[in-house]
Amino acid sequence: MLDRQYLVISLFYAVAGLLMGIYMAAAKNHSLLVVHAHMMLLGFVVSFIYAVIYKTWLPRTSGSLAITQFCLHQVSALVMISGLFMLYAQIMPEPIVGPVLGVSSIGVLLGMLLMVVMVLKEKSVRAADYIVS
């Protein structure tokens, strides 16, 4: 259900992260390395993996649990990556950004745990395992 939304958002993170990487390389200024790394890995790669999980194993999953998982991951990842940018671009000091990073990273973790719950609940995953064994 949400595979396309995850895919589109992941590709936007890829474009933004690659632009940042090219800027870092061209400017010979790697101070935004942590922001670039998490844009590429948390923004692009993790969202892309969620898109693949939805497409492959959760094709019929919809409803409030799925929407909660999607919103929780996307809001938390966006807040975390924006917070990292504020911190490493020295726009905001650590005492202010730190708690925001803490809360948003717990949101990312909860999003992953909700994905675990949905995968374990999905009957087709269990059926597929049954066929293989």
How deeply is 35 buried, as exposed, middle or buried, from its count of CB atoms within 10 A (0-12, 13-18, 19+)? buried
For residue 40, the minimal CB distance to ligand HEM (Å) is: 4
Q: Is residue 73 a contact point for ligand HEM (CB under 6 A)?
A: no
Per-residue CA distances from 60 to 12, 20, 124, 126 (Å): 25, 36, 9, 14
Closest listed residue to residue 81, CA positions, set 43, 30, 25, 111: 43
Q: Is residue 22 a contact point for ligand HEM (CB under 6 A)?
A: yes
Residue of minimal Cβ distance to ligand HEM: 21
Q: Is residue 87 a contact point for ligand HEM (CB under 6 A)?
A: no
Stretch that binds ligand HEM, among 40-48, 50-58, 60-68, 120-128 (CB under 6 A): 40-48
Distance between CA atoms of residues 129 and 115, nearest Å: 18
Q: Take residue 6 and report the two structure tokens written for it.
A: 């995850």
By CB under 6 A, name the one of 37, 75, 92, 100 that touches ligand HEM: 37
Stretch that binds ligand HEM, among 3-11, 32-40, 61-69, 91-99 (CB under 6 A): 32-40
Q: Is residue 105 a contact point for ligand HEM (CB under 6 A)?
A: yes
Stretch that binds ligand HEM, among 51-59, 92-100, 104-112, 120-128 (CB under 6 A): 104-112
Per-residue CA distances from 91 to 18, 28, 44, 82, 97 (Å): 21, 20, 24, 11, 10
